[in-house]
Amino acid sequence: GTAEAWKDFEKSKVYMADLESGLHYLLRVELATHQTLEGEELKTFKDFVTVVAKLFPGRQSVVKLLETLLEWLVSLPLEKIPFDAILDLVNNKMRISGMFLSDQLQWVGCQGSRVGLRGYPCSLWTLFHVLTVQAASRPDALANTGLEENPKAVLQTMRKYIVNFFGCQECGKHFEEMAVASLPQVKSVDQAVLWLWRKHNQVNGRLAGTMSEDPHFPKTQWPSPDLCPTCHEEQDGIHVWNEDKVLMFLKQHYGAANISPKHMY
């Protein structure tokens, strides 16, 4: 077969290779299923690019590409944008110096035990956890974008992206149901970080033992006690989360300083 060598990684780290591979897949592969963007899809894509251009804690060359894409989208008076035009920009056809997004898929923390497991969906969760944490730690980052002063800006953008673009439509349906039921209660950027964690665990619970589960990466309620002992408590013999500790853990785990450049192209 063509199985790649297993790459060593630590569960306590987040990998930039996963985040960049996810962005590559989103921009060059997932988006390609839409020949032109208009209306709600175009608005959703603009919001997504705004959020990543302002909040992605990545390499300068990638951030510059996202910023250039954003400037271009904002300056265009068009109501329809062909995917090919976006692809030309993502591939830097105009050869602007210092901007680049690798077109290699290199899963590290998101590598699966076989093709078809983990990979892109794992990187998308990771990306949005990173973005909610960035939004909470850099309150001014979204200034002058139209998304400022909205503690749910990242989550609403994720919600619209998942519904309009994410290849797994059943996932979009489930995510939308969760958002309708509980997103209105989110009132701060910290609550947004915790909301995504809670919903992700809900999905893990639903998928445990199903075909979506990589046998080498069982679905669990995350973070496990070995990753964050103080996140777990017992009250009257029943497991409860210490949400203050969980929030601190999420900010550390998904914070810029915990993103490893290991195995990057």
Among 183, 203, 248, 256, binds ligand FAD (CB under 6 A): 203
Query: Which range in 38-46, 147-155, 185-193, 198-206 contacts ligand FAD by CB under 6 A?
Result: 198-206
**C-beta atoms surrounding 53 within 10 Å:** 21
Query: Contact at 8 Å (CB) between 108 and 101?
Result: no
Query: Contact at 8 Å (CB) between 129 and 136?
Result: no
175 binds ligand FAD (CB under 6 A): yes
Q: Output 65 or 155, the one with its CB closest to ligand FAD.
A: 155
Task: Quickly tell me which residue has 């601190």 as its tokens.
Answer: 248
- Print burial letters for 115-127: b (CB count within 10 Å at least 16), e (below 16): eebbbbbbbbbbb
200 binds ligand FAD (CB under 6 A): yes
Per-residue binding string, ligand FAD, 37-76, x by CB under 6 A, is ----------------------------------------
Q: Output 146 or 205, the one with its CB closest to ligand FAD.
A: 205
Strand 259-260 versus strand 14-15 pairing type:
parallel
What span, in angstroms and rounded, lies between the C-alpha atoms of 264 and 95? 22
Closest approach, Cβ 169 to ligand FAD, in A, equals: 10
Please report, as residue ranges, which positions from 9 to 38 form the binding site for ligand FAD (by CB under 6 A).
none
Q: Output 204 or 242, the one with its CB closest to ligand FAD.
A: 204
The angle, 0 to 180 degrees and rounded to 10, between the axes of the packed helices 189-207 and 169-182 is 130
Among 24, 64, 118, 152, binds ligand FAD (CB under 6 A): 118
Query: Contact at 8 Å (CB) between 192 and 152?
Result: yes
241 binds ligand FAD (CB under 6 A): no
197 binds ligand FAD (CB under 6 A): yes
The one-letter amino acid code at 115 reads: V
Q: Output 99 or 128, the one with its CB closest to ligand FAD.
A: 128
Instruction: Please name which of 89, 37, 87, 48 lies closest in space to residue 68, comparing C-alpha atoms.
Output: 89
Count of residues interacting with ligand FAD (CB under 6 A): 24
111 binds ligand FAD (CB under 6 A): no
Q: What distance lies between CA 259 and its chain's CA centroid?
A: 13
* Positions in the binding site for ligand FAD (CB under 6 A): 110, 118, 121-122, 124-126, 129, 162, 168, 170-171, 174-175, 197, 200-201, 203-204, 207, 212, 214, 217, 222
